[in-house]
A and B are shown apart, each in its own frame.
Chain A
């Protein structure tokens, strides 16, 4: 499979500490949560504002648990890895594409994702019609250009998959604990409500004007 590119205006991530057992319950049996501290796992919210892809422009939210990456002696070392346990988008075409090609689990109704960009922060509001799902704010630090490698794990009908994902573009990252998160009661977030997810991100990442490239799909 040739690499698949998704060009984005914004890619915004925030990492939150959560209860380790709750994170494990979100993962398939062969994956373990990454533990930044004993007893804690990492919940990651990532939102994309895609401007160009095989299925046009669209917006996406990925709720994931961070896992240890597969580190090998060949190729670029992965920066981190994650298991998306639910993905939401604002177009049906984008959902069908990602389900068919990447085996990513989706919430099947349209969700709206608003990016409110200020000079030093970006606020994101995720809604289904009038029903709030999640609000997150991320602040900027120093901007640089990067090409980072991540790994995404997927699990679909008993089969395990992995894809290497490159994220290239303008990048800022910090752990100043300056951001905010509000999780609202909604089918996308119901498994997080009792997971002791912190209300502030310990790590905030923001990329602009870049390309997300899926190398291909490996069956594990």
Chain B
């Protein structure tokens, strides 16, 4: 019954065979059914296996994915051939064609720092000075002077006593949460919390409750009857809708319930607030946050993550954040680039002003064209499609029309809450944004979404 690889790669074959025969075989009917319904399934259908063989689920998954990939999943992970700048060249992997000069709304390079010449030069200098890798755990031989320099610079920038570096944002969240919370504790987090937060909670073995997105009232309900150690975790900017944390209300609830609070500023650090410290600064609540988390891979255009807070917190996590202890320290070249990128953030506030001007302009352009951008209040702007069956075909049309953006569908968002997620950057020109909005509106209109 299993279709051959050739059949799976050539979706028309089974249907042709079935049409040509007087009576379609059961196999042909089954294959056709799978073709028809391939996009009705997703990764979540193949999470669990069947039977006693740990590889038992691999075959069914491969059969589904080989059908589903050319229908849209190929749009994820297409290789870029240029820096993630305002315009980018991308290899479309279904037909292996190079798409040049796309308006790039897919990258997190919010201030355009990943390809700034002075950042690249700093990365090269650090690589020349220290080599390509740290060659050790940060608690053994992997810490170099530039790691300490970056940690000091981050702590100073965030207005915190001390900071600790991690090899990725994911490992930072996992390391902080599992380093601090224990079995029997309670972590309460927003229902839209990032996977790295959830995985940190799993690894900590703490109890978990989720509060309805941005609802301080539901958070209070979830905290009220628990008497032990508690931690609330929220994000500054939510990465699928681009809306901001309801931080003032949530801080009040945490104070009333004597609960520590951690904020994930992956998409907001170095952007929000007068000095760019993040959402906590934006709301004037820096002092009310116990744990400040952020990443280096978005606005700073590098790689890695950090936690900033009190000396006591950092001292403890230095010993107990296993995701850091048992990983190699950040590559020196990355660290050199990050130090320069952070310096640019501090010394060029006009970059943030340009970003916010661009965000306002893009939101205006999209709204004027009748595009539904959901609740976005930030540089992350969803283009709501709300049709899981058609999001990929519209995405194909978008990319061939000249814009590179990320399609998002279940299970990354709720069923039929599919959307395109666009990232506006300071590197976009007004012409890029106007042209991008025109293309988006045109494609939506010809596909019946406007």
CA–CA, A9 to B368, complex, Å? 43
Binary per-residue interface labels of chain A (72-115) against chain B in the complex, 1 for a CB within 8 Å, 0 otherwise: 11111111100000000000000000000000000000000000
Residues in A neighbouring B43, C-beta threshold 8 A: none
Question: Is A157 an interface position by the 8 A CB rule?
Answer: no
CA–CA, A200 to B299, complex, Å? 36
Question: Is B202 an interface position by the 8 A CB rule?
Answer: yes
Question: Is A190 an interface position by the 8 A CB rule?
Answer: no
Binary per-residue interface labels of chain B (48-65) against chain A in the complex, 1 for a CB within 8 Å, 0 otherwise: 111000000101100110
Binary per-residue interface labels of chain A (158-194) against chain B in the complex, 1 for a CB within 8 Å, 0 otherwise: 0000000000000001111100000000000000000
Residues in A neighbouring B208, C-beta threshold 8 A: 37-39
- How many residues does chain B have at the interface if contact means C-beta atoms less than 8 Å apart? 35
Question: Is B30 an interface position by the 8 A CB rule?
Answer: yes
CB pair B416 A174 closer than 8 Å: yes
Residues in B neighbouring A75, C-beta threshold 8 A: 1, 30
**Contacting B414 at CB < 8 Å: which of A40, A142, A176?**
A176
- How many residues does chain A have at the interface if contact means C-beta atoms less than 8 Å apart? 31
CB pair A76 B40 closer than 8 Å: no
CB pair B46 A174 closer than 8 Å: no
| Known A-B contacts A38-B202, A40-B210, A203-B415; A73 and B63 likewise in contact (beta carbons under 8 Å) | yes
* Distance in Å: Cβ of B7 to nearest Cβ of chain A: 14
CA–CA, A3 to B201, complex, Å? 45
Question: Is A127 an interface position by the 8 A CB rule?
Answer: no
CB pair A175 B30 closer than 8 Å: no
Question: Is B386 an interface position by the 8 A CB rule?
Answer: yes
Question: Is B33 an interface position by the 8 A CB rule?
Answer: yes
* Distance in Å: Cβ of A65 to nearest Cβ of chain B: 15
CA–CA, A39 to B209, complex, Å? 8
Question: Is A68 an interface position by the 8 A CB rule?
Answer: yes
CB pair A77 B2 closer than 8 Å: no
Question: Is A69 an interface position by the 8 A CB rule?
Answer: yes
Task: Name B48's closest neighbour in chain A (CB-CB).
Answer: A68
Binary per-residue interface labels of chain B (183-210) against chain A in the complex, 1 for a CB within 8 Å, 0 otherwise: 0000000010000001001100001111
Q: Which residues of B contact A (CB under 8 A)?
A: 1-2, 30, 33-34, 37, 40-41, 45-50, 57, 59-60, 63-64, 191, 198, 201-202, 207-210, 386-387, 389, 410, 414-417
What are 15 residue pairs bridging A and B, where the CB atoms are less than 8 Å apart in the complex?
A: A37-B191, A37-B198, A37-B208, A37-B210, A39-B201, A40-B210, A69-B45, A71-B45, A71-B49, A72-B60, A73-B59, A75-B30, A142-B416, A174-B414, A174-B416
Query: Top 9 A-B pairs ranked by shortest CB distance?
Result: A175-B414, A68-B48, A39-B208, A74-B1, A174-B416, A175-B415, A70-B50, A71-B60, A73-B59
Q: Which residues of A contact B (CB under 8 A)?
A: 17, 37-40, 68-80, 141-142, 144, 146-148, 173-177, 202-203
